[in-house]
Chain A
Amino acid sequence: MYQTNYHRASSIDEATAILAGAEDGKFVAGGQTLIPTMKQRLAAPSDLVDLRHIGDLKGVSVENGEVRIGAGATHAEVAGDSTLGTVSPAICHLAAHIGDPHVRHMGTIGGSIANNDPAADYPAAMLALSATVHTSKRDIAADDFFVGLFETALEEDELITAVSFTIPEKAGYAKFPNPASRYALAGVFVVKRPDGVRVAVTGAGEDGVFRVAPFEDALSDTFDVSALEGAAVPADGLMSDIHASAEYRANLVAVMAKRAVEAANG
């Protein structure tokens, strides 16, 4: 790891101010992506601004049908939140299957979506839930937030403070984990609301998380696994790597979509 300067912020304003004054600084939340990347010397921020001690980024709340998850909520906290487990168990299930227990004790939802790894779990949930990403500057719809591979709408000095979404009627998530890394080879999050169904896929797309319109139309008619009988996504635009070919991923997307619907109807 290259040299860096560590700073601990105690408020959102302090964090953004330190970053603004740094030559090439980065926020660090759980560090479960950034520290390994720095160890590999793939990132070399001049300064690190630690967000873990900012009270305003913590906590999960459910009020008037709206869920709000602080950017600093760890995967373990989301997985274990009993109120969230009652109103939206799919998101708890997702969080409970990220990496391993030690990663879940540190890693945060804010760090996960800021990083927008094409195989990360949360982006699929955010997109399918039509979530809003709240930042130190503005509110961004999930539809506009995830721009591409490891790319988001965030500006350099913009800090995610929370995400929020309306409690869905039904939701389900199924992922086929890479047996070594546990990241998704393909993960599908489905959400049913009175105005229709949204289906978002992670792990498979060359440009990161994406929606599948034909699956959404079929499920909006009949929210049942039978609606996806014979349904398929083209292998075009899907990732091919040592772990899986685009064709295999295309098949996994259809299978995971069915399992996600089953989980939602469960």
Chain B
Amino acid sequence: MADVSMTVNGRKVSATVEDRTLLVHFLREEQRLTGTHVGCDTSQCGACVVHVDGKAVKSCTMLAAQASGSEVVTIEGLANGSELHPVQAAFKEHHGLQCGFCTPGMIMAAVDMIRRYPQGLDEKTVREELEGNICRCTGYQNIVKAILAASASMRGDAARAA
């Protein structure tokens, strides 16, 4: 068994779990944070994307033990109380989801992407960057629109704050 402790959405958590426990199962079953989804068993769909130490990773392809000592942020950690994160708000505004299964991973990937492109994003880059996130419903059109809008609004906010 592995003693695992990490910060999840700003809260320190610890547990003793089987060494083989995947981070996604630790989050969903131990922490009851079921926003992070499992959409495949081949590490390809991206429904499970969370941030570990500030970087988007597939939580189905990392052991909880590997993440011990890290800072983890899940979809539940984005909103500020009842105020949605700008990327969540943009997905709502631009109808970037249908069934919603891929959405947590899409949004976590989008937040990471926007952070890595502080100079802004274009459509081609967004589509390339979504390589690891599969959506079976939307055809991606509105997801791309939402990410571009969120990127623009977050840059505007940053400019106003500066």
Contacts and interface: CB of A to CB of B under 8 A. Distances in A.
Interface residue SS majority, chain B:
mixed
Interface in A38-57: 38-40, 48, 50, 52
Interface in A170-211: 180-182
A181 B44 contact: yes
B132 A6 contact: no
A86 interface: no
Contacts of A6: 2, 19, 63, 65-66
Nearest to B116: A101
A102 B58 contact: yes
Interface residue SS majority, chain A:
mixed
B131 A101 contact: yes
A257 to B, nearest CB: 24
Contacts of A31: 61-63, 66
A89 B41 CA distance: 34
Contact size range, A: 20 to 34
Contacts of A8: 65, 68
Interface string B64-107: 01101000000000000000000000000000000000000000
Given A4-B20, A31-B66, A100 B2 contact: no
A32 B61 contact: yes
B113 interface: yes
Interface string A1-44: 11111101000000000000000000010011001101110000
Interface string B113-154: 100100000000000010111000000000000000000000
Contacts of A38: 20
A8 B2 CA distance: 11
B19 A102 contact: no
Contacts of A181: 44
Nearest to B18: A3
A182 B41 contact: no
B56 interface: yes
